[in-house]
Amino acid sequence: MLAGTNPSSEKVFSDSEHRFCVRHLYANFQEKFKGEILKKQLWACARSSSVAQWTRNMEKMKGLNVDAYKWLEKMPPNTWTRAYFSEFPKCDILLNNNCEVFNNYILDARDLPILTMFERIKCQLMRRHYSKQKELTEEMQGAFCPKIRKKLNKNAEFANMCFAMPSGQGVFQVQYRDY
């Protein structure tokens, strides 16, 4: 079984979208396929935001290592690649370390009696929420937080190299270099 899969949660939450943590997927991938180049290409495939980009990245993987390509091809792309993620959940995170970070964050509180534990966790989260909110207001310029602003600027630069040709009824073909 692939690390990151949980048959019981898939059974209980059968209508939910299930995804792999790419870090865990890579841990299994690395057991068979070594090297920094393959690692970077796996992440390029996972980060692909369009099917065409994913196909190009998978072809690059095939050129680097056919067996690695075949191994990845067995994984349903909607479980590990942004290009195939459903648009319903508004999250495109490729890692599943939020729960690991939280569990580590509350490690000291977990040995306390239940009510004391909840109080400690509540206070920790209140302090964290306050400090993050303060940090954000200090760094905030305009309507977008710094991380999203950086992504928007990068996409705006990329969009300057694209050419849109109208096809009618709000449909366009966008050309970027040879694509």
Residue 70 has a CB neighbour count (10 Å cut-off) of 11
The upper half-sphere exposure of residue 20, i.e. CA atoms within 13 Å in the direction of its Cβ, equals 23
- Residues 142 and 149: beta-carbon distance below 8 Å: yes
Reduced 3-state DSSP string for the chain: CCCCCCHHHHHHCCCCCCCCCHHHHHHHHHHHCCCHHHHHHHHHHHHCCCHHHHHHHHHHHHHHCHHHHHHHHCCCHHHCCHHHCCCCCCCCCCCCCHHHHHHHHCCCHHHCCHHHHHHHHHHHHHHHHHHHHHHHHHHCECCECHHHHHHHHHHHHHHCCEEEEEEECCEEEEEECCC
Q: Is the pTM of this model over 0.95?
A: no
Beta 171-176 vs 162-168: how paired, if at all?
Answer: antiparallel
Q: What is the pLDDT of residue 82?
A: 86
- Residues 55 and 62: beta-carbon distance below 8 Å: no
Contacts 24+ apart (CB under 8 A), 109-117: none
Residues 6+ apart with CB under 8 A from 53: 83
Q: What is the pLDDT of residue 151?
A: 87
Q: What is the pLDDT of residue 18?
A: 74
Q: Rounded distance, CA 95 to CA 4, Å?
A: 10
**Residues in the chain with pLDDT < 70?**
1-10, 89-98
For the segment 17-48, what is each residue's pLDDT rounded down to a tens digit? Answer: 777 788 888 999 999 999 999 999 999 999 99
